[in-house]
């Protein structure tokens, strides 16, 4: 029975030491999609995993 407690304690310590998914910084400021629309820029950050991050191009301000 003590062995089960030790294994469980080691498992909990390892779980608490590793960073979770919610602790990573979000680097996609657009939306994740398999295909981006025409006129959007496509980047590949880690948050979107196998999809692309689609960013809309900003319109230039006319002076």
Res. 2 pLDDT band, cuts 50 70 90: confident
Pairing of strands 52-56, 40-43: antiparallel
- In whole angstroms, what is the distance from residue 27 CA to residue 35 CA? 18
Residue-range domain boundaries for the chain: 28-58
Residue 56 has pLDDT above 60, yes or no: yes
Question: What pLDDT sits at residue 22?
Answer: 46
pLDDT in tens, 26-42: 677 888 888 888 888 88
Sheet of 40-43, strand order: 31-33, 52-56, 40-43
Q: 40 or 15: which carries more pLDDT confidence?
A: 40
What are the percentages of helix, strand and coil residues in the chain, rounded to 5? 30, 20, 50
- pLDDT average, residue stretch 17-24: 52
- Which segments of 1-63 does DSSP mark as H helices, in order? 2-17
């Amino acid at each position: 029975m003590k062995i089960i407690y030790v294994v469980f304690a080691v498992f909990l310590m390892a779980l608490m030491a590793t960073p979770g998914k919610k602790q990573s910084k979000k680097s996609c400021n657009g939306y994740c999609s398999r295909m981006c629309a025409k006129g959007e820029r496509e980047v590949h950050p880690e948050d979107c995993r196998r999809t692309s991050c689609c960013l809309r191009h900003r319109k230039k301000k006319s002076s």
